[in-house]
């Protein structure tokens, strides 16, 4: 497994554990912060799996969001997944053109 993919998966796991572990945020920041954190987790998991486990990534993020902020997490996961699915181009160093 390339280091970049491992780093993405490890960062996503750490972010999810921090959210599920009860990282406290001020009440007025909770909605937008949860949306951004779940969006970042979705993007990191998507990159870590190279887009091969699309449904599993979205399902995992939504399942984790059910314990924290379901609507923000589900919206973020679906929004990021739709954007990445529509894009259909995966950035990687091996396929870059000069």
Structural domain includes residue 92 = no
Domain count, the chain: 1
At 10, the pLDDT band (50, 70, 90 cuts) reads very high
Region 75-81: what's the mean pLDDT? 88
> What's the CA gap between 95 and 13, in Å, rounded?
27
pLDDT of 57 strictly over 80 = yes
> Is there a domain that residue 96 lies in?
no
Domain of residue 71 covers: 3-87
In 3-state terms the chain splits into helix, strand, coil percentages (rounded to 5) of 75, 0, 25
Domain assignment of residue 71, yes or no: yes
C-alpha dihedral over 23, 26, 27, 30, to 10 degrees? -50
Can you give the pTM of this predicted structure? 0.79
Answer yes or no: is 93 within a domain.
no
Does 74 reside within a domain? yes
pLDDT at 89 over 60: no
């Amino acid at each position: 497994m390339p280091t970049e993919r491992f780093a993405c998966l490890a960062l996503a796991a750490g972010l999810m554990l921090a959210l599920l572990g009860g990282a406290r945020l001020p009440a007025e920041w909770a909605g937008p912060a949860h949306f951004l954190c779940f969006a970042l987790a979705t993007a990191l998991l998507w990159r870590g799996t190279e887009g091969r486990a699309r449904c599993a990534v979205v399902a995992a993020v939504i399942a984790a969001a059910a314990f924290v902020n379901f609507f923000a997490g589900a919206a973020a996961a679906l929004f990021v997944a739709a954007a990445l699915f529509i894009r259909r181009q995966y950035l990687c160093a091996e396929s870059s053109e000069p």
